[in-house]
Amino acid sequence: MKAKDVLGRKGEELAARYLESVGMLVVERNWRCSDGEIDIVALDGDALVIAEVKTRKNLAYGHPFEAVGKAKLARLHRLGAAWCRDRELRMPLRRVDVISVLDDGVSEPLLEHLRGVG
């Protein structure tokens, strides 16, 4: 497995544990369809949350949040709708959250969570 994939998996694991620690219920991870992948699907009360996790070693290529632009947000909304159709669910309260993980492998990873991004 490539180093970036190992880092990404670690970031997703940290993000899932964080979401659970703040009271969310993680219901699925790494769901895929022909249009793409959802990193984490969670419930925050009665809100369905589609969580995108961006993990980096440092800020050399910009902050991880910068990697989630309008096109990515639109795709995440489409993927959330596809996930609901796949599960035959009608969940009107759907939001997209983005979780940034900075992990240089030495210091404690730094996690930031933006709720309802777009």
pLDDT in tens, 25-49: 999 999 999 999 999 999 999 899 9
In angstroms, rounded to a whole number, what is the distance separating the alpha carbons of residues 47 and 62?
A: 30
Neighbours of 31 (CB within 10 A): 19
Whole-number average pLDDT of the chain: 94
Structural domains in the chain? 3-114 (3.40.1350.10)
Q: Indicate whether this model's pTM tops 0.85.
A: yes
Q: What is the pLDDT of residue 65?
A: 96
Task: Give every CB contact of residue 61 below 8 A, 6+ residues apart in sequence.
Answer: none
Give yes or no for residue 91 having a pLDDT over 80: no
Cβ 104 vs Cβ 84: under 8 Å: no
Give the residue among 11, 35, 5, 19 at the shortest CA–CA distance from 101: 11
